[in-house]
Structure 1
């Protein structure tokens, strides 16, 4: 009897953020309030087939959470719409014809300013 294969990761979307748990025990997590950029990326699929599309959410330090399209649902896409000035048409275009590499589909219109350099006496 063949059971369902265990996925290599699980993605949880909440009102607070996105978390991806990998099979090896590692975790990527990002709060929605810290997201300053959303990218769509894909690579060549095995045997030249369709490539897996990923959503990459980044914070201002470049840390983030990679979400495979296969792990997304309506709640993830609905939550993206709440990012300021998020353009669903731009997202749809990027997903429909993903490039080899990545394309930025959203950047925060007002990213957090960097911390000031403090001088100590």
Structure 2
């Protein structure tokens, strides 16, 4: 049976979060409630499909700097629609960043809420 080969990456967007499955079996996942920063990254390197142009990546980060990297080519309307639910998210800023970024990154959104302080634990 000869069919199309599977893509190198799958991205799933749900109400709970975003998950990226890689061809090697590894997975990046992040719950929407944990997202504190959204970046647009441009990569003109060798990894760009066809070797020309700039690959655009969306990087979602949590408070610990862990995150999920989502290629623009793997996104659909559900991903952009879900980003709009982040407090004060600006789609125009996102679009401008996608048009301008080359071999660098632009932070397009940060959580307006300050990081939660760790609770003071008292020991008896």
TM-score (norm. length: structure 1): 0.89
Report the 3-state secondary structure (helix = DSSP H, G, I; strand = E; otherwise coil) of the residue aligned with 1:83: coil
For 1:111 and 1:6, locate their aligned partners in 2 and report how far apart those are by CA, in whole Å. 41
Shift of 1:6: 2.2
5+ unaligned residues in a row in structure 1: which ranges? none
Q: Which runs of 5+ in 2 are unaligned?
A: none
Q: Per-residue CA shift, 1:54-109, capped at 9, x if unaligned?
A: 00000000000000000000000000000000011110000112131111000000
Contact 2:54 2:102 in 1 (8 A): no
Q: How does 1:52-71 map to 2 (within 5 A)?
A: 52-71=55-74
Deviations 1:6-55 (A, max 9, x none): 21110000000000011111111000000000000011144872111000
| Structure 1: distance between partners of 2:29 and 2:114 | 19
- Give the aligned length: 121
Root-mean-square deviation (Å): 2.1
- TM-score for both structures, normalised by structure 2: 0.87
Q: Structure 1 pair 45/3, CA: closer, same or farther in 2 (3 Å)? A: farther
